A = this chain, B = another copy of it.
Amino acid sequence: MSPRKTFERLPLAKKERVLEAALHEFAQHGYGGASINRMVERAGIAKGSVFQYFGDKEGIFAAVFSHSLHQVKNALRRIRDDADDTDIFNRIERVFHTGLAFTQNHPLVYRLYTHLITASDIPQRDLLLSSLRSEGKFFLGEILQAAMERGEIRSDLPMDEALFLLEAVMDRFLMATVMPCLESDFLHESSPKDRVRGFIRILRHGMAPEKP
């Protein structure tokens, strides 16, 4: 019987236990550093089983990634289904908050993502990354495009750079919420809500003083 089938047929609770253990391990130690021994111990299953389910380490990673991607897509879909009748800056603000909620509900998924970006020993890394990025970039790109058409952003705005900048801030913001060491001191001084508002203000009006 196909090995993946075996896993799919497991009781839901067990499936989740296994996937959680695997995600935990990969998120914590990266691909190469992840130990299947620790994984199975955390999941409470026999070592052989995990190979029956996923074939090999790459298979485990693929399953974990796919599962996580699924969750990300759901989150994005939820945003997209939001009414888009508001101003772009309101939308972006909402996107920030949705992202924040996601990383707080699924911190391990986000850590997995950061590993995917920096590590070089991940099996299908480039493929996975590009599948992920197309998802995200397309999403933010659409918002920008719509705003441009509505005249909500200045007509001479360099779109590629704006998109990159948006992504960068978003990414860094989420990263900081998952890895507190990045925000040693001042994360606690203001609420996330205020911080997001601050970002939006800068993105909207820029840093230069208004011309008289």
Contact = CB atoms under 8 A, between A and B. Distances in A.
Contacts of A195: 160-161, 164
| Count class of interface residues, chain A | 35 or more
A152 interface: yes
A13 to B, nearest CB: 22
Interface in A170-193: 171-173, 175-176, 179, 181-182, 184, 186, 189-190
Interface of A: 28-30, 32-33, 89, 111, 114-115, 117-121, 125-126, 129-130, 133-134, 151-155, 157-158, 160-162, 164-165, 167-169, 171-173, 175-176, 179, 181-182, 184, 186, 189-190, 195, 198-199, 201-210
28 contacts: A28-B120, A33-B119, A33-B121, A89-B208, A115-B119, A117-B118, A117-B179, A118-B179, A130-B181, A130-B184, A133-B182, A133-B184, A152-B208, A153-B209, A154-B209, A158-B202, A160-B198, A161-B195, A162-B202, A164-B173, A164-B176, A168-B173, A169-B169, A172-B172, A204-B206, A205-B205, A205-B208, A206-B206
